[in-house]
Amino acid sequence: MKKISLFLSLFLLTFGSYAQKSCCELTASTKEFAAFANDKEFVATHQNPLAYTHISEVGKAISFEGSDGKTAYGYELKAKKKSKNYLFVIHEWWGLNDHIKREAEKLYNDLDINVIALDLYDQKVATQREEAANYMKAATAERSKAIIEGALKYAGKKAKVFTIGWCFGGAWSLQATLLAGKKANGCVMYYGMPEKDINKLKTIETDVLGIFAGKEKWISSEIVAEFEKNMKEAGKNITVKSFDAEHAFANPSNPNFDEVATKEAYQMTIDFLKKRIKK
């Protein structure tokens, strides 16, 4: 009996340590980015988004089961023709607001594949930057992971998954690609914190397009250079473009919106995704 108890104790200790380590390895970069919510200067760079209501004949609110058994939410646009291609769109620190729904529909129209904008905030949407900071801090890695895993199950076993995200969602776009495993077919991340663990990067099953803001100090040029170096060391394909712009330059509701850079970045995104959708 003592031997069994000892075995169980050792098993639980080992498994618990492994699970904790695995979780931390997966989400260290997202936690690092979330810490920016405590940086007053970072918060101040985000002006409150302009009021906007998105009306769509295609997009519908959906719910599905997360891998933690809890209900998860999203905004789905179904492809005109049956398709196994799915693009996961991951919101900025504001949450799944109507600006993101509009961006999801724009991508849908240009790609004509299934698009799901994931809600990692569980139906909370910020209209003030202080709210956004609090929501980003409160979004746990475990819950976000469960939502993404639920979306992967919702898409189906044969789904070819592509991901895109900005800011908070930029970091989670890369993490979603890691979680997607062999379903992953293309990852686009806009000015999000990259994964720094080379062993994790080695498990990526697809190419990555990293779009960054050269003028910002949080996802610095040093961090971007390190990410590019780590990806190459991991034997993975990556394309990096740093624009002479500020953080969140691709958000039309942001005073730092750069129309020229946004247009070029968007065309890069569409070209990158279309090339891989055709494969």
pLDDT of residue 34: 85
- Distance from C-alpha of 220 to C-alpha of 226, rounded to nearest angstrom: 10
Give the mean pLDDT of the chain: 90
pLDDT digits (tens, 9 = 90+) for 151-177: 999 999 999 999 999 999 999 999 999
Cα–Cα dist 247/136, whole Å = 16
> Are 70 and 14 spatial neighbours (Cβ–Cβ below 8 Å)?
no
Q: Coil, helix or strand for 167?
A: coil
> Hey, what long-range contacts does 152-155 have (CB within 8 A, 24 or more apart)?
152/179, 152/180, 152/183, 153/64, 153/65, 153/67, 154/62, 154/64, 154/116, 155/86, 155/114, 155/116, 155/183
Query: DSSP letter string over 185-215?
Result: EEEEEES-PPP--HHHHTT--S-EEEEEETT
For residue 6, what pLDDT band results from cuts at 50, 70 and 90? Answer: very low
Res 235: pLDDT: 98
Tell me how far apart the alpha carbons of residues 64 and 167 are, in angstroms, rounded to a whole number.
25
The 10s digit of each residue's pLDDT in 125-134 is: 999 999 999 9
pLDDT for residue 9: 42
Query: What mean pLDDT is predicted for residues 90-113?
Result: 97
Placement of tokens 């960054």 in the chain: 212
Q: Which amino acid would we find at residue 4?
A: I
Q: What is the pLDDT of residue 28?
A: 78
**pLDDT value of position 90:** 98
Q: Phi/psi at 45 (nearest 5 deg)?
A: -75, -15
Which amino acid type is present at position 276? R
Residue 278 has pLDDT above 90, yes or no: no
Is 50 exceeded by the pLDDT of residue 10? Answer: no
Q: What local confidence, expressed as pLDDT, does residue 27 receive?
A: 63
For residue 41, count CB atoms less than 10 angstroms from its CB and return exposed for 0-12, middle for 13-18, buried for 19 or more: exposed
Encoded tokens for 154: 């919702």
Q: What is the mean pLDDT of residues 9-15?
A: 37
Tens of pLDDT, residue by residue over 203-242, are: 999 999 999 999 999 999 999 999 999 999 999 999 999 9
Tens digits of residue pLDDT in 16-58? 433 333 344 456 788 888 888 998 989 888 889 888 999 999 9
Considering the four listed CATH numbers 3.40.50.300, 3.40.50.920, 3.40.50.1820, 3.30.300.20, the one that applies to the domain covering 27-277 is: 3.40.50.1820
Residue 268, H or E segment: helix 259-277
Residue 1 pLDDT more than 80? no
Backbone φ and ψ of 63, nearest 5°: -135, 150
